[in-house]
Structure 1
Amino acid sequence: MRRLEYKWLVGITFVLGLIMQILDMTVLNVALATLGREFHVGEGTLQWVLTGYMISLAVFVPSSGWIADRFGSKRTFQLAVVLFTLASVLCGLATEMWMLIGARILQGVGGGMLVPVGQAMLFRAFPADERAKASAVLSVPITIAPTLGPLLGGVLVEYASWRWIFFINVPVGAIALLFTVLFLREEQRDRPGRFDLPGFVLAGAGLAALLVGLDQGAQAGWTSPPVWGTLLAAAALLSGLVLRELRTPEPMLDLRLLGDRLFGTGNALLVCSTGAIFGTLFLLPLFLQNLRGYSPFESGLVLMPQALAMLATTQVVSRLYGRVGPRPLLLIGFTVLISVGLALQLLNTRTPVWFLVLLLMWLGLGMGLMMTPLQTAAFARISGSAMGHASSLFNASRQVATALGTAVCATIFVALVETYSAAADLTAPGAAEQVQMAAYRGAFLTSIGFGALGLLLSLRVRNADAAATLDPTARRGRRRFRKQADTTTVR
């Protein structure tokens, strides 16, 4: 049997780790109500199962680049997998809520290092003109795991035990660790620089405060003193971070990388695309379960075609990218995203399921068109030595974008429900459903806003800037064509 190339071994290892992390996040959401009954706690305490993980993730995502440079990417990835897997076992064995929360915090430490370090290893392993293939590798867990998570979580909670939503990570983690030990090479910089303690504190505390503030604002309301106090603290900490990191020669989070046209625009596009997509995918299951009466398992089945369409599109785009470049793919992708937001305005309680499935497949098409060019072009001019810091920054943007998209959609939905309820006669038959339906349609408009901003930002992306990631044969063909055209004109 022919031995796999090293780049594919790195890809398989990272996919295993990423599947473990994403499955854990999506499976847990289904089991929250069960955990509340098991430990006899209310929503306030239960929320810390999610918030504790979010905080530790926010602390270690920014620092993961320096840790990998200092101790080696392979060693850091191994540590991340071990911590995540061990914490999963501790979560499954928890007998008190404080034990579960503590284990979730430990999980966040592993998760905060796992994704940025793995992504940096993947992009180093693939040559620049093959990174579209690397992005296609990433699309597998990113599309499949969120879809399988609710289905798997529902089955485990109903037919086994809530403890198995954590134990299921153990075999995946063990295989990922085995691949890391057997096949991966060590990558270590000669001079990783001194540990930037002020940058570590400011980045971790600022990002954690921002994520918690966005999450709590969507739930408790933005006028709540703890919410705006947390957001003000986040603004102060992140402002201090910018001043600190731009002045120090060896920053924890290298914000200077955002000065690169492609990388800076790529981070902004990531916020637009992730904000729109996660906001929409946050609301659709609620619509299906609250207004259509679907179970979590049934709503997961309705959402599955979206993931399959995205996966199929990504595989095609990874081959197309080298010939057409990122710009046209991004423009088409964001246009599709806007059209989904417009089509969602037709949604009502009697909308046929087939229409929603087709619409979700169209959304998956748009997501597939955006994912590969966005990730590939963003790292086009990032050197191998800066890849760890760039990946940390990119994943920090992803965390903020996810929280922002969900918070904006949830806030608009709640505000519209209150506004429409005040103006409606809720005693009339079907009035409450009509109010909620109108609120859903209004909240879905946020995807149009995010998509329109992304469409405008895509105009800043130039194929010439991403030349290193394009197909060399296609580039030579285009140059030859231009040369022939110039010669013809001269004649």
Structure 2
Amino acid sequence: MKDHRGVALIVASALFMQNLDSAVLATALPSMARDLNEDPARLGAAITAYLVSLTVFIPFSAWIADRFGAKRVFMLAIMVFVAASLLCGRADGLGELVAFRVLQGVGGAMMVPVGRLLLLRGVEKRDMLSAMAWLTMPALLGPVTGPPLGGLLTDLFSWRAVFWINVPIGLIGVVLVAWKIPHVAPARPGPPDVMGLVLTGVALAALMFGLETVGRHVVPGWMSWTGLALGLVAGALAVRHCRRVPQPAVDLSLFRIATFRDPAVAGSLFRTGAGAVPFLIPVMLQIGFGMSATESGFVSFATALGAFAMKPLVRPLLRRTGFRAALLANRVLAAAGIAALALLTPAWPGVAIFLLLAAGGLARSLQFTALNTLAFADVPTERMSRATALYGTLQQLTPALGVVLATTTLEASLALHGRDGLAVADFSTGFLVAAVVVLASIPLHARLAPDAGAEVSGHRR
């Protein structure tokens, strides 16, 4: 690919829109809770529903992109995402909001992995780290601008405006894709693995439903436990099925590639723990510290600003240390940064909170970029569509688990202390639990070869 930077920037417009949507929604959550007369912890379902929908439908993206052409599917996905955003802005209750977020997730499920596929299929190994950096740097503008923009839109207009902002961004993205990205001819992937897709979808949806509702009195308890049991059974059947068919919906043989397995498995633990942080921070600042949506948005902005500042440093760091050393050392720093958030109180100066959040953003950004690049370092081109679909599924499932981890910890802390409303101590517990989950994957990273992904990082022992 001659112009991998240009393609990366155009594809990044979709990632920018998706990341902006997630960032502004977290900031607007307390205002949404007041307007819809819901508990803020329960409104985590609006975030989780979108992430679950992404997770369920991403496995379809590989077959659909091959069958109908990646460019065509990418453009349609952006339009579905924009239409669903308009509907979310008109929701009058939690049920409607969750339903429209599910539809939004369908668009996102085709948008992000197919966009990444458009880029990775044409880039050479030596340019992969550069391409991923160009892909993720504009996408990080979403989290950078999201918190302050979400706060301003919420305070000046209402929380509904945080969904409407997707409309102009999406339309610009569609025009750029149609104009600049070359046509990708459809292939003949054969019939889809319908049984595998159904079993995988049922397993993921049922598990996330059970995890989101268990012990929280949203639905009768038996429904939550039935969902968990159904998810485990369907998941076991899906694994058994995908191991037996020649063209499975989920290509589990990719886990035999060490440089794919580590980001997929160890990276999932990291993304789960780190995924709790964007939910906890704005809610804590508004409910625990008494900040307005605008104030919390500008403070939360520090995390994404730190992440954005790290991107130009990733390539020289990985060239010097290699993937294994960077992942091991930085995992400890990232966990320490999350655990340090448990020390925050309303007495802290705003500047100190800002700097702590920015430092945490630096560490988490390095980890995300290294994981996302290493995952595709040794994947053959002909298997790239299945790899992007499987990795994308894990990449979206784990932030959903992070939100569930955060809300479950808050509920447990409330019950343990016998309080009726959330306090700063409850959020401190949430940060400590998230840090422990992040640390849990260190033994898995230690199994990587010292020169893993050297062709991509440029590191030589």
Shorter-chain TM-score above 0.5: yes
Question: Of the candidates 407, 412, 436, which is equivalent to residue 409 of structure 2?
Answer: 412
Query: CA offset at residue 297 of structure 1?
Result: 1.6
Aligned to 2:176: 179
Question: Of the candidates 210, 234, 241, which is equivalent to residue 238 of structure 2?
Answer: 241
Aligned to 1:165: 162
Aligned to 1:441: 428
Q: Structure 1 residue 108 and structure 2 residue 105: aligned?
A: yes
Alignment of 1:64-463 (within 5 A): 64-92=61-89, 103-160=100-157, 162-188=159-185, 190-217=187-214, 219-220=216-217, 224-421=221-418, 436-463=423-450
| Residues 53 and 108, structure 1, Cα contact 8 Å, conserved in 2 | yes
Query: CA offset at residue 456 of structure 1?
Result: 2.0
**Alignment CA distance shift 1:307-1:165 (3 Å):** closer
Question: Of the candidates 443, 453, 469, which is equivalent to residue 456 of structure 2?
Answer: 469
Q: Distance in 1 between matches of 2:55 and 2:408?
A: 22
Aligned to 1:62: 59
Q: Which moved more, 1:94-103 or 1:365-374?
A: 94-103
**Alignment CA distance shift 1:202-1:43 (3 Å):** farther
Which digits, 9 at most, give the CA deviation of each residue in 1:333-362, with x for residues without a partner?
111123224433433342333332222122
TM-score of the aligned structures, taking structure 2 as reference length: 0.89
**Alignment CA distance shift 1:328-1:97 (3 Å):** closer
Q: Distance in 2 between matches of 1:101 and 1:342?
A: 31
Aligned to 1:482: none
Q: Distance in 2 between matches of 1:362 and 1:13?
A: 29
| Residues 54 and 396, structure 2, Cα contact 8 Å, conserved in 1 | no
Count of residues in correspondence between the two structures: 460
Unaligned runs of 5+ in 2: none
SS in 1 for 2:447: coil
Question: Which residue identity is paired with 2:439?
Answer: A
SS in 1 for 2:451: helix
Q: Distance in 1 between matches of 2:338 and 2:51?
A: 29
How high is the sequence identity, in percent, across the aligned residues? 33
Q: Distance in 2 between matches of 1:32 and 1:311?
A: 24
SS in 2 for 1:212: helix
| Residues 77 and 114, structure 1, Cα contact 8 Å, conserved in 2 | yes
Query: CA offset at residue 239 of structure 1?
Result: 1.1
Aligned to 1:485: none
SS in 2 for 1:464: coil
Q: Distance in 1 between matches of 2:216 and 2:126?
A: 44
| Residues 22 and 141, structure 1, Cα contact 8 Å, conserved in 2 | no
Q: Which moved more, 1:174-183 or 1:126-135?
A: 126-135
> Greater relative contact order (Cα 8 A, min sep 6): structure 1 or 2?
2
Q: Distance in 2 between matches of 1:290 and 1:463?
A: 45
Query: CA offset at residue 146 of structure 1?
Result: 2.8
TM-score of the aligned structures, taking structure 1 as reference length: 0.84
Query: CA offset at residue 134 of structure 1?
Result: 2.4
**Alignment CA distance shift 1:157-1:333 (3 Å):** same
**Alignment CA distance shift 1:37-1:283 (3 Å):** closer
SS in 1 for 2:192: coil
Unaligned runs of 5+ in 1: 427-431, 479-491
Q: Distance in 2 between matches of 1:161 and 1:71?
A: 39
Q: Distance in 2 between matches of 1:375 and 1:58?
A: 17
Aligned to 1:429: none
Which digits, 9 at most, give the CA deviation of each residue in 1:252-289, with x for residues without a partner?
11121122112111112221221221223322223222
Which digits, 9 at most, give the CA deviation of each residue in 1:28-71, with x for residues without a partner?
44556666787x77679978755654454233211101111111
Q: Distance in 1 between matches of 2:151 and 2:439?
A: 36
**Alignment CA distance shift 1:161-1:361 (3 Å):** closer
Query: CA offset at residue 186 of structure 1?
Result: 3.1
Q: Distance in 2 between matches of 1:349 and 1:373?
A: 34
| Residues 272 and 401, structure 2, Cα contact 8 Å, conserved in 1 | yes
SS in 2 for 1:251: coil
Q: Distance in 2 between matches of 1:359 and 1:164?
A: 30
Q: Distance in 1 between matches of 2:245 and 2:13?
A: 36
Question: Which residue identity is paired with 1:469?
Answer: V
Q: Alpha carbon RMSD of aligned pairs, Å? A: 3.1
**Alignment CA distance shift 1:454-1:135 (3 Å):** farther
Q: Distance in 2 between matches of 1:450 and 1:51?
A: 19
